[in-house]
Amino acid sequence: MSALAAPPPAPPSAPLRDAVESSGSWRITDRIGLAICWFLGLLFCAIAASIVIFMLIEGIKYVRPSLLVTHPAAGFGESDSGGFLDTLIGTVVVALIGVAIALPLGVATAVWLSEYGRPYALARVAEPAIEMIAGTPSIVLALFGSLIFSSPALGFLSRTSGGVVFGRSFFAAGAMLSLIALPLIVGSTREGLQSIPAHVREASYAVGKTKAATIRRILLPTARPQVLTGTMLGVGRIIGDTSIIVILLGATLTLNGVGGVPLLSVLRGTGSTLTSYVYQNSPSGEGNQPTKAYAAAFVLLLIVLVLNGAVEVVTRRARRRTGWSS
């Protein structure tokens, strides 16, 4: 009995070994695979770094603080074509409109898909439909949008002249751009909701709470980091889109308001964003002021980098908050 109960004798004390395995002992094919992995990893780092560094160097050469606060103007030289204040405002406005539409719709859709999923048949159809929207090229969305917003019924959203609806305005572009952000918000929110274990929902039901109260007080606050992540990724996609801007916002040099109401006139009017500004000032665009294009691209890249950094911070913080075991 006692021999059975006693633990095996302790081995003579040896120095602690690190749990590092040397690839030197691997098969040659495995070692080649490892080398390819290293190569690809370094390659992608190099590509990302060269984009950022190149744009930084080119951008810093041409970017001036004054560019950010002066209106663009039609001109042939660098000195008389002005800055890109209007396009900066345009970028912010389309992002705001897009998020204002996509965030409530996206979160509501995700809650419905994840928490209710009924009627079942509709939910089964809605999922691939959202994925289809996500997969639609934005130029197709833009054409579709111009069809919708040129209809007389929606004439109040854009410029109308002699019964012809132009169908180009911040409203039109923002609405179509929200479709680009929507799938990202739905997907991310849904993922957040589904990562909450079932017993947490039941714990709320088990103290007499309704489904609505549980969603509002427990589930959505828990999924907030994922909602934020989806939103910021969506904003990144919105401000990076060009085709919808060119077709539905007009890509005019300055903000051209319609009507006399202060804010509404801007929203009903045309304008441009940093992306369309870069396009038009690139060597293939009408403006052809490459230095302005570099400066605007630099600002655009900075905004996107800041957004990506914010996503990283939010996801890290969410991961650090200890969760439940399922």
- Residues contributing to the site for another protein (CB under 8 A): 1, 3-4, 8-9, 197, 199-200, 202-210, 212-213, 216-218, 221-222, 321-326
Nearer to another protein, 222 or 280 (CB): 222
Give the DSSP H/E element, type plus range, for residue 266: helix 262-268
Residue closer to another protein (CB basis): 223 or 245: 223
Residue among 276, 257, 254 at smallest CA distance from 82: 254
Strand partners, 165: 160
Shortest reach from residue 206's CB to another protein, in Å: 4
Here the tokens at position 217 are 């007080």
Nearer to another protein, 61 or 211 (CB): 211
Q: What is the largest CA-CA distance in the chain?
A: 104
- Rounded to an integer, what distance in angstroms lies between the CA atom of residue 268 and that of residue 168? 8
Q: In the bound complex, what is the minimum distance in angstroms from residue 2's beta carbon to another protein?
A: 10
DSSP per-residue letters across 210-244: -HHHHIIIIIHHHTHHHHHHHHHHHHHHHHH--HH
Question: Comparing C-alpha atoms, which of 267, 250, 229 is closest to residue 92?
Answer: 267
The C-alpha atoms of residue 266 and residue 167 are separated, in whole angstroms, by 14
Q: Which is nearer to another protein, 22 or 325 (CB)?
A: 325
Q: Count Cβ atoms below 10 Å from residue 254 Cβ, excluding itself.
A: 19
CB of 128 to another protein, least distance (A): 24
Asked if 133 and 116 count as a contact pair (C-beta separation under 8 A), the reply is: no
- C-beta of 24 vs 208, nearer to another protein: 208
Q: Is the peptide bond before 119 cis (omega within 30 degrees of 0)?
A: yes
Please state the closest distance from residue 320 (CB atom) to another protein, in A.
11
- We find the least distance from the C-beta atom of residue 119 to another protein, in angstroms, to be 13
**Cβ proximity to another protein, 20 vs 207, nearer residue:** 207
Helix axes 274-281, 290-320, angle to 10 degrees: 150
**Which one, 119 or 262, has the nearer CB to another protein?**
119
* Sequence letter at residue 236: G
DSSP 51: H
- Cβ proximity to another protein: between 115 and 127 the closer is 115
* CB of 229 vs another protein, minimal distance in Å: 17
Smallest separation (angstroms) from another protein to the CB of 214: 8
CA-closest candidate to residue 272, choices 241, 235, 232, 304:
241
Give the shortest CB-3-to-another protein separation in angstroms.
Answer: 6
